[in-house]
Structure 1
Amino acid sequence: MELTDDETTGIDPTVPPSGEGCVECLADGGWWVHLRRCAACGHIGCCDSSPSRHATAHARSAGHPVLTSFEPGEDWFWNLETQKFHRGPALCEPTSRPASQPSPGPAGKVPPDWRSQLH
Structure 2
Amino acid sequence: MATCEHLTQTEDPQARTPEGCEECLADGGRWVHLRRCLGCGHIGCCDSSPGKHATAHYRSTGHPVVQSFEPGETWRWCYADSQMG
Instruction: Compute the TM-score of the two structures, normalised by the length of structure 2.
Output: 0.88
Pair 1:16-2:14 in alignment: yes
Output the aligned Cα RMSD. 1.7
Identity within the alignment, %: 59
Runs of at least 5 residues in structure 2 that lack an aligned partner in the other structure: none
Runs of at least 5 residues in structure 1 that lack an aligned partner in the other structure: 87-119
Dislocated runs of 4+, deviation >2 Å: 1-4
Q: For 1:27 and 1:67, locate their aligned partners in 2 and report how far apart those are by CA, in whole Å.
A: 21
Q: For 1:77 and 1:67, locate their aligned partners in 2 and report how far apart those are by CA, in whole Å.
A: 6
Closer, same or farther in 2 for the Cα pair 1:2/1:44, shift >3 Å?
farther
When you count strand as a share of all residues, which structure comes out higher? 2
Q: Rg bigger for which structure?
A: 1
Q: For 1:64 and 1:49, locate their aligned partners in 2 and report how far apart those are by CA, in whole Å.
A: 20
Q: For 1:12 and 1:76, locate their aligned partners in 2 and report how far apart those are by CA, in whole Å.
A: 14
SS in structure 2 of the partner of residue 36 of structure 1: strand
1:59 corresponds to:
58
Letter in 1 for 2:80: E
Letter in 1 for 2:15: P
Letter in 1 for 2:29: G
1:26 corresponds to:
25
SS in structure 2 of the partner of residue 52 of structure 1: coil
1:49 corresponds to:
48
- Number of positions where the alignment pairs a residue of Structure 1 with one of Structure 2: 83
